[in-house]
Chain A
Amino acid sequence: MTLRVSERLMGTIHREGERAYPGECCGVLAGQPGEIKEVRRLLPVVNRRAADPHRYLIAPEDLQRVEAEVRHDSLEVLGFYHSHPDHPAAPSAFDAEHAWPWYSYLIVRIDRGRAVEATSWQLAVDRSAMLPESLDVFNEV
């Protein structure tokens, strides 16, 4: 499993995480599904748990709205990104407990206000663990 993201879009995610620090940012990764998922668009969404700096929640109606929007452009929701302020870019127990299969979960680590690392994960089919997937950050030009 591989997630391909352009440097430009990755930069956008980094900046969003830095801006949200010490809170968390979250958003939707939309693009072309397949053996290699390629991210074409980022869609910011409302974090319904913004009051809690350690949590994000995308409400079902928000996700449905985003899904309708990206399908209009013949894209699919591939997964989600969120930031871990001052924590490793690894899924928390809470992340794993609430994850869906198939989706990619991209996590960007923000250390004292600076984005330092990003990783991507998928839930194991038996829900036993979050498995790392390769993250291919490419230069568009």
Chain B
Amino acid sequence: MSVTVSIPTPLRGFTAGQDTIQLPGQTVGEVLDGLLAAHGGLKRHLFQDDGRLRNFVNLYLNETDIRHLSATATPVQAGDVLTIVPSIAGGSPALGSEAALSHAEVLRYSRHLLLPEVGIAGQRKLKSARVLTVGAGGLGSPLSLYLAAAGVGTIGIVDFDVVDLTNLQRQIVHGTSTLGQPKLESAEARLSDVNPNVRIEKHETRLTSQNALEILREYDIVVDGTDNFPTRYLVNDACVLLGKPNVYGSIFRFEGQASVFYAREGPCYRCLYSEPPPPGLVPSCAEGGVLGVLPGIIGSIQALETIKRIIGAGDSLIGRLLLFDALKLRFRELQLRKDPSCPVCGEQPTIRELIDYEAFCGIGAEPAYDGPEITAEELSREMQQKGPELVLIDVREPHEWEIAHIEGARLIPLGQLPERLGELDGHSEIVTHCHHGVRSMKALQLLKGAGFSRVRSLAGGIDAWADRIEVGMPRY
């Protein structure tokens, strides 16, 4: 039984120029064995060292790819035609482990290469890495500049704003010459000048629940440089759902925070802040101001954590919240724990897809809860006057209590309150408090509904207390 083997042009140099060869055999494998026995030079072009067919070599028995039949075990019949068909593949060297460094790159990164923790291997990892920065503003500026200078191969940027004069006091990736331009164009020009080897991927859009998964999915690490709560929760939840690390930073006036939220290895943003502050309570930089150097410091810490994660060096900020006070020039650190009841990364998550974050953060909605409030100053005065007769109930979670609490308060997390009402005296005067005042208002409603008549909620929560009464108390 004999079949015809058709040889493609590039391989005819190994078959003495023949374009077809007649060979005997019962199966495709036997025919190939006969082919290699007659023309040994073909072997390395058709097969890998382990004996498997190379993935760009296609064998068609008559009209059908043998991968869709029984591969080399496919039986053949007299008169069959076995055709070797090339597929042609290639590409530029910007992917994965093969991202080699050119001579110019070796020179450019020489101060990195001298560090054993980076070296050629680490620099190639940087070159292969894909990092997304959300926002090209105060944090995104130093962050993207250092990532580009460090040789991170692909930097994606999400932003839809234009460069404004008020930005330039801190957003150092932009300049006077790019006023009025889209921030993406402005940042791309500057970053390409810093390092032309870097590929900038521009996402000129607002990050939304509709597009976030699609955009974030393409990157290894997401760096959050946003200035608002809806986007921060959106980035967090999308990172948890996609299993990506989220390098977090935030700034306000003279204070900044940084951490790495990575649900696979530690807590997420929601483990720390289960709920956003009420809308309008925490002013934005536009409302409250910010010292221009501050985002430089926090954004640089985010760049540092990103680079460390890529090269696998050092201890990361996973499970730690770094607090920076620029006026006191003091760094503090809080240990964070994964919250087993976290709605997105806990043991029984209730958030399995992206939600409406504007609504979640109460933007555009009327406050759902209302009731009598007490200011921090009044509370302080009344506590001194009334002593233990005034019952102060902290309805936050235990890990928040550990960060800071008001002396004399009782911890009853909001979730436990309904079943622990029996611990409270219905006639006593009660003040509820939480972080910013949202949960405590819910607690107040719950207590009122259960017949407690003398209940007030601390306006602004423990944050207002730490701001005005017990200055020096850790804030988060």
Contact = CB atoms under 8 A, between A and B. Distances in A.
B437 to A, nearest CB: 48
Interface in A10-33: 22, 24, 26, 33
B9 to A, nearest CB: 6
A125 interface: yes
B7 to A, nearest CB: 11
A63 B10 CA distance: 13
B8 to A, nearest CB: 8
Given A60-B86, A63-B85, A98-B56, A82 B91 contact: yes
B23 interface: no
Interface centre among B60, B89, B192 (most CB of A within 10 A): B89
Given A60-B85, A125-B41, A86 B91 contact: no
B92 interface: yes
Contacts of A99: 90
Interface string B8-23: 1111111000000000
A59 B87 contact: yes
Given A101-B10, A102-B13, A80 B92 contact: no
Contacts of A102: 9-13
B90 A91 contact: yes
Contacts of B79: none
A74 to B, nearest CB: 14
B27 interface: no
A88 interface: yes
B23 to A, nearest CB: 21
A59 B436 CA distance: 60
Main secondary structure of the interface of A (DSSP, over half): loop
A86 B100 CA distance: 14
Nearest to A82: B90
B199 A57 contact: no
A91 B93 CA distance: 8
A86 B105 CA distance: 13
Contacts of B87: 57-60, 63
Interface centre among B45, B91, B196, B197 (most CB of A within 10 A): B91
B102 A88 contact: yes
Interface string A47-70: 001001111111111011000000
Interface in A84-141: 84-88, 91-95, 98-103, 105, 111-112, 125-127
Interface in B46-90: 56, 58, 60, 65, 85-90
Contacts of A125: 13, 41
B94 interface: yes
A49 B89 CA distance: 9
A54 B95 contact: yes
Nearest to B45: A101
A63 B8 CA distance: 11
B10 A92 contact: no
B98 interface: yes
B89 A100 contact: no
A87 B92 contact: yes
Interface residues of A, number: 44
B44 interface: yes
Nearest to B65: A60
A5 to B, nearest CB: 18
A106 B254 CA distance: 56
A111 B94 CA distance: 14
A24 B91 contact: yes
A3 interface: no
Nearest to A98: B89
B98 A56 contact: no
Contact of A85 (B45, B90, B92): B92
Contacts of B58: 60
B93 to A, nearest CB: 3
A39 interface: no
A88 B196 CA distance: 13
A56 B89 contact: yes
Interface string B333-361: 00000000000000000000000000000
Contacts of A49: 89, 91
Contacts of A53: 199
A26 B89 CA distance: 10
A3 to B, nearest CB: 15
Nearest to A28: B88
B197 A95 contact: no
Contacts of B89: 49, 55-58, 94, 98
B91 A92 contact: yes
Contacts of B14: 101
Contacts of A83: 92
B199 A77 contact: no
Interface centre among A56, A59, A85, A94 (most CB of B within 10 A): A94
Interface of B: 8-14, 41, 44-45, 56, 58, 60, 65, 85-95, 98, 100, 102, 192, 196-197, 199
19 contacts: A52-B95, A54-B92, A55-B90, A56-B90, A58-B89, A63-B85, A63-B87, A80-B88, A85-B92, A91-B90, A100-B8, A101-B10, A101-B14, A102-B10, A103-B88, A111-B196, A125-B41, A126-B44, A127-B44
The 9 closest A-B pairs by CB, nearest first: A92-B93, A55-B91, A102-B10, A60-B85, A58-B88, A95-B90, A100-B10, A84-B92, A98-B89
Given A95-B90, A127-B44, 11 more contacts: A55-B95, A58-B88, A58-B89, A60-B85, A60-B87, A80-B90, A92-B92, A93-B98, A95-B91, A103-B9, A105-B90
